[in-house]
Amino acid sequence: MDSVASFSKPVHGTLPQNLIEKIVRLRIYESRYWKEHCFGLTAELLVDKAVSLQYFGGVCSENNKPTPFLCLLLKMLQIQPDLSIVLEFVRNEEYKYVRCLGVLYLRLVGTPLQIYKELEPFYSDYRKLRFQTKTGWKLTYMDEWIDELLHEDIVLNIVLPRLSKRLLLEEAGQLSERVSALQMELDSSENEAGTEDDEDSSSSLSSDSVSSDSASDLDVEAKTGDTPAEIESHEREKSLEVMEEDKNETTKRKHSKMKKEKKKQKKKKKKKKKKHKKQKIVVRGLKATPAAPKSEEEEGRAKVGENSVEYWNMQREKLGLKRLKE
């Protein structure tokens, strides 16, 4: 494990490397990137390593593996480069991850006045950033990263030093009121547009509209000989007449439909009555023929009861037997 140089200055009452928690520091010291790339680094060589960064993040994966970004941050805390070098990191516009590293280092080490003056202008930096989390990758922006550093207490598993509120510095006269870039654009656009031009254009438009209305009214009076009020009343009467005609047509159509429906219902009732009158005898799907009329003898026999003597005598005659005595 690397030891801190004897000439290191305390920051916020502790050694600079102690701003990162001990558990995270031990992970960094055990990482392969620290052993291969961060051993014996100077301020000049650290710039080359920062330029080669392709993403930023804290601790990633399930094994809490530190990212190269976090390793270089710890090395900066150990080296403690000059403020001029740190400001070059912060103001670098070509390499966005160099700016991310310098901004975080300044947030850990700098004073509140330095932090607000250097970080707030980057609210207008909307470049995309690749951020590695424990579960995967995330897309963020530079202005969001600046906002987190100014308002959050914990970033990348690092507890940030307490930052005094901006209002206190404004009341003390150390900072002026912050004006956003959007507000500045709106104010400039409003100032450019003069009030005199608006008044002249409005007056010219009103005079043109009045003259056009009067000219149209005069043309109508010349053609019809009526005033505009009389013309409006005639138009209203015409519109009312059209509405009444439409209503009459709709009522006529309704009455005609009702009559047609009633006629259909009457026809259906007549058909049903005719079907009931016809008595059809159907046996196995065929019409049965009406029975032949009975002869007089058969009718007489039918009148005779089966238990009577005459009935049995008639049966015996058919068989060639003698009649029974009564």
The first and second tokens of residue 247, run together, are: 């209503």
Residues with Cβ within 8 Å of 39's Cβ and at least 6 positions away in sequence, in order, are 2
pLDDT means over runs of 10, the chain (326 residues): 60 88 92 90 89 91 88 93 92 92 93 91 91 90 93 91 88 81 70 61 56 52 58 74 77 78 79 65 45 56 63 81 72
User: Is residue 34 within 8 Å of residue 68, measured between CB atoms?
Assistant: no
> With left for phi above 0 and alpha for psi between -120 and 50, is residue 154 left, alpha or beta?
beta
pTM > 0.85: yes or no: no
| Closest C-alpha among 90, 103, 91, 88 to residue 146 | 103
Q: How far is CA 12 from CA 15, 17, 264, in A?
A: 8, 11, 101
Per-residue pLDDT, 220? 45
Per-residue pLDDT, 282? 41
Q: What distance lies between CA 161 and its chain's CA centroid?
A: 39
User: Is residue 81 within 8 Å of residue 49, measured between CB atoms?
Assistant: no
Per-residue pLDDT, 272? 73
User: Is residue 15 within 8 Å of residue 8, measured between CB atoms?
Assistant: yes
The first and second tokens of residue 303, run together, are: 């009148």
Backbone angles phi, psi at 219, to 5 degrees: -65, -40
Per-residue pLDDT, 208? 56
